[in-house]
Chains A and B, each alone.
Chain A
């Protein structure tokens, strides 16, 4: 099992460019999440998905879009990149139902700089 795989690991964008951060999990988890991590600010939820075809906004969704066409993949799209989107992005997945706690498994992260 590879777990949660994120690509790329690093990326530098110019202001106004677009890109897609890729995330794939091989654990057949129903939930997937995107977080951004800024220094001293913890993990802020951008978007999440409770299953294929279902997505919802988290705490900081502005400037981002997601899709979930399969159980395995949950790409994050940045349109018109801005310096405020400079951050480390983490994808996570979990198996969740009403009866168990949702242990999250995180990818290694994508470090993005917008200049």
Chain B
């Protein structure tokens, strides 16, 4: 089955710095890679996603890059703000055996210091 590794587990930055979170996956059949943000006491919420036919996608201060050959994808947050503090999860999924089930990384706790 799919295996997703996510690093680092904790990331501490100063406000205004950039933050990068990296994930690797094992199954070459995976073709959809979402990133979720989980604020304290809430459920995860999608912030950005990328499909395997695209190398990079941006949405304001957030960007995701995908390297299919190396089987890794990364989340980039620029000009970090205290409200970016949360746990971030990557996931990899693909259409396999009649179902579309994602596998999640273990999460990265991002702390942005004012």
Contact = CB atoms under 8 A, between A and B. Distances in A.
Interface of A: 4, 31, 33, 40-43, 45, 48, 50, 56, 58, 90, 92, 94, 96-98, 101-104, 106-109
Contacts of A92: 43
B102 A102 contact: yes
B101 A106 contact: no
B99 interface: yes
Given A41-B106, A42-B89, A98-B95, A108 B101 contact: no
A106 to B, nearest CB: 3
A107 B100 contact: no
A50 B36 CA distance: 22
Nearest to B42: A108
Interface string B37-62: 00001111110010100000000000
Given A101-B93, A108-B42, A56 B106 contact: no
A46 to B, nearest CB: 12
B46 A103 contact: yes
A56 to B, nearest CB: 7
A59 B106 CA distance: 14
B28 to A, nearest CB: 16
B106 A102 contact: no
B43 A101 contact: no
23 contacts: A4-B43, A42-B89, A43-B89, A45-B101, A58-B101, A92-B43, A96-B100, A98-B95, A98-B100, A101-B31, A101-B49, A101-B51, A103-B49, A104-B34, A104-B44, A104-B46, A104-B102, A106-B45, A107-B43, A108-B41, A108-B42, A108-B43, A109-B42
Complex A-B, nearest 9 residue pairs according to Cβ-Cβ distance, in ascending order: A106-B43, A101-B32, A42-B106, A96-B100, A43-B104, A98-B95, A102-B100, A42-B104, A106-B44
B9 interface: yes
A79 to B, nearest CB: 24
Contact of B100 (A4, A31, A40, A41): A31
